[in-house]
Amino acid sequence: MSKNDSKKDNEFDNLSHEYDGIREYDYPAPNWWQIIFYVSIIWGIGYWVYYTLYDGETLRHRLDRELVTIQREKMKEASNGPSESDMSALLSNPAAIASGKEVFTGKCLSCHGDHGQGLIGPNLTDNFWIHGKGTLTDIYTVVDKGVADKGMPPWGPILSAAELKNVVAFVKSLQGTHPANPKAPQGEEIK
């Protein structure tokens, strides 16, 4: 046994284990490691107490709360809808009309025709209206909610609010145009 070995035996407890010339000593873990270990135990107990005993807010709770807030905002927007004056401002906006035409071409053309003359769906260019009085808010409601018994799907959940308003403005801009081969008038005439 050398001097260094005896010094180690004095500093640390020798566990009297030796295997292939390797002695086992009881070296304590470094202080920084022990601090992290004990802090993590305390944090774990606090975490368990907060989420188990005090029903702390989890990501699921936060997501549910935010979804409820979004749903309330959608319900509020759907119940109020845009006003007639808000919608009429879009009629003088060429960019809104052009954007509405794009949406109309992509979603409405197959039923209402390329010029709104009506195919499966009604003619949108005359003064006859099946639902409502032909006001912008009436058109908005029909496009937003759809008409299930007539086969028109609700576009409100699919289109953004801006797209919905723009397509309504485009449909209103079609009124009074005289396309070739229009569908026969349906509904009540509104003068």
Q: What percent of the chain has pLDDT over 70?
A: 89
The span from the CA of 24 to the CA of 34, in Å, is: 21
CATH class for the region spanning 78-189: mainly alpha
Q: What is the pLDDT of residue 37?
A: 97
pLDDT reading at 35 higher than 90: yes
- CA–CA distance, 100 with 88 (Å, rounded to integer): 14
- Are 93 and 140 contacting, i.e. CB atoms less than 8 angstroms apart? no
Q: Where in the chain is the domain with CATH 1.10.760.10?
A: 78-189
- Which one, of 140, 161, 143, lies nearest residue 152 by Cα? 143
Residue 181 · residue 116 · CB < 8 Å: no
Q: What is the pLDDT of residue 101?
A: 92
pLDDT value of position 3:
53
Q: Residue 190 has what pLDDT?
A: 81
Overall pTM surpassing 0.85 (yes/no): no
